[in-house]
Structure 1
């Protein structure tokens, strides 16, 4: 399965914290310090881990089960985006999350092109009907 975006987010955050401690980065220059909080990353990581667990247990040929899994992770991510974590999903994070959902589906044996076509969608639109971020 593709690497969760939260791994990179956490890496950027820790790297900039280290630079700040070392005095090689000014706080106003630390984009990751503003973009991510520990609670935001942890909540997102939990939602993605739950999604992975659900995908491991469903029938990849069952459109209702697959779409329900996507709906649940997207709704969880909507909640995280709305919660007061002093962070939210910006353009880069949105693209990473959508890409991750697609790659997780493919890794679970789901033909996302066929799934989307059966529902009158394009592949990249599978999560869009529930997505607020």
Structure 2
């Protein structure tokens, strides 16, 4: 199973703290509150729900796959825009990681994402665009 983006974000925070402690990173350059735990937990929960739903898809129609993508994207929109994380949210790098995660998770469960997107006349990188605010 693909690692979730919050796993990468947590690892980055641990590494940043190590670098500050070792003196190899100026504390002023470390952004300790970039990923508050509330953001990480909420994102993990949304991605877990997505994974659970994808696991139930057996020979899904395009409509069923896109509905699953829509639900996770709307959940992530709510997390990013809910103001509950001290101003933290999804920036460019996080957005890219989330989109890649959605693509990889679908692919790991047998969805041909490139073909799915092509049938809609879009690029595979655009499968979240219709609903995505982040």
TM-score (normalised: structure 1)? 0.89
Unaligned runs of 5+ in 1: none
Q: CA deviation at 1:34?
A: 3.1
The aligned residue for residue 116 of structure 1 is 117
- Give the CA RMSD over aligned residues: 1.7
TM-score norm. by structure 2 comes to: 0.88
1:2-28 Cα offsets, whole Å, 9 max, x none, are 1111101012223434555x4745542
Is the CA contact (8 Å cut-off) linking 1:59 and 1:65 kept in structure 2?
no
Aligned mates of 2:73, 2:59 — CA distance in 1 = 18
1:2 pairs with 2:2: yes
User: Can you give the 5+ residue segments of structure 2 that lack an aligned partner in the other structure?
Assistant: none
Map of 1:12 onto structure 2: 12
Q: Which stretch shows the higher mean deviation, 58-67 or 46-55?
A: 58-67
Match of 1:76, SS state, is helix
Compare the two structures and name the one with the higher helix fraction: 1
